[in-house]
């Protein structure tokens, strides 16, 4: 998965957190977040996000987080 860009990565985060993403696509998102200063710098909740992933919780993403991601995608466009 070398085609993952910022918009794709942020969009996939929703499914990523819901545990609906296939393993290969999960890797694409994880690798993007690790490498992309833009996403990690812009997304203030990146660390909390990683904490959730580390705990492997399957809780729905809070509405405010979803709204932030929506805004972030808008900014990319």
Where do contacts with Zn ion occur on this chain (CB under 5 A)?
6, 36, 38-39
Q: How far is the CB of 41 from Zn ion (least distance, A)?
A: 9
User: Of 3 and 55, which has the nearer Cβ to Zn ion?
Assistant: 3
* Pairwise CA distance, residues 25 & 29, whole Å: 6
CB of 6 to Zn ion, least distance (A): 3
Is the Cβ of residue 6 or residue 61 nearer to Zn ion in the bound state? 6
Sequence-distant (≥ 6) Cβ neighbours of residue 52 within 8 angstroms:
17, 59
Least distance (Å) between residue 39 CB and Zn ion: 3
- Cβ neighbourhood burial of 16 (10 Å; 0-12, 13-18, 19+): buried
């Amino acid at each position: 998965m070398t085609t993952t860009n910022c918009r794709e990565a942020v969009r996939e985060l929703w499914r990523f957190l819901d545990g609906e993403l296939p393993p290969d696509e999960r890797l694409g998102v994880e690798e993007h977040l690790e490498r992309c200063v833009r996403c990690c710098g812009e997304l203030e909740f990146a660390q909390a996000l990683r904490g959730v992933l580390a705990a492997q919780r399957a809780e729905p993403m809070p509405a405010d987080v979803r709204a932030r991601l929506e805004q972030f995608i808008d900014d990319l466009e």
